[in-house]
Amino acid sequence: MIALVTGSSGGIGSAVAERLAGDGYTVVGLDADVTSPEQVEAFVDRVENETGPIRALVNSAGVLRPGRAVDLSDADWADTLAVNASGVFHVSRAVARRMIPRRSGSIVTVASNASRTARQNMAAYAASKAAATAFTKCLGLELAEFGIRCNVVAPGSTDTPMLTGLWDGADALRTSVEGAPGAYRVGIPLGRVARPSDVADAVAFLLSDRAAHITMQDLTVDGGASLGV
């Protein structure tokens, strides 16, 4: 079985690739610019012709441009939406077109709990992940008749360079766990940030036959940080 994983070079994507390889998948990291529909189409075509049919897709590529909404540059906004939302569209479209004739396959988009919980200085990121979430659910509705499932995994704070890059030293992990009342942000009830493997486990489950009757769902993996909302 072949699994295509975007953003597989680090963070959550790397953990997903490792987990799926352990589950017996032949994992292919997407080596193309997800913002370019032409590059994506060519890459997916090459994988299908040279490696084999793609059975699973994980959209894990993402960027974060933090900043107050009123201070975001046009480039920050456009680049964030281009990768986190349009990238999901380009790759999912290319793969789904090839899954439809086979009437099988599974797609998981790694979004964020920020897609439904307001966060200061994360307007572009939250908007892009909300768009990716809505798109994936709509895609799942359209592909259900072909036996193709589409789901979302929504991590909260996860121990990756994206998180630690927001703070100095250990402050990223401590602030995530304890919360920041001044920023209207609760902490993490389970008392720790997620490991990338925690998110990868959720992705692997949704791709597997154990989730054969699950589609258009949004599985939150945040230790309770969004209080179940």
Instruction: Give backbone dihedrals phi and psi of 81, rounded to 5 degrees, phi first.
Output: -65, -35
Is 125 considered catalytic here? yes
Inter-residue contact 15 to 158 (CB < 8 Å):
no
| H/E stretch holding 153 | strand 148-155
Pick from 155, 115, 158: nearest CA to 133? 115
- Residue of 25, 43, 89, 125 marked active site: 125
Q: For the chain, give me the number of helices (H) and strands (E)?
A: 8, 6
Nearest one of 10, 113, 15 to 61, comparing CA atoms: 10
Catalytic residues: 125
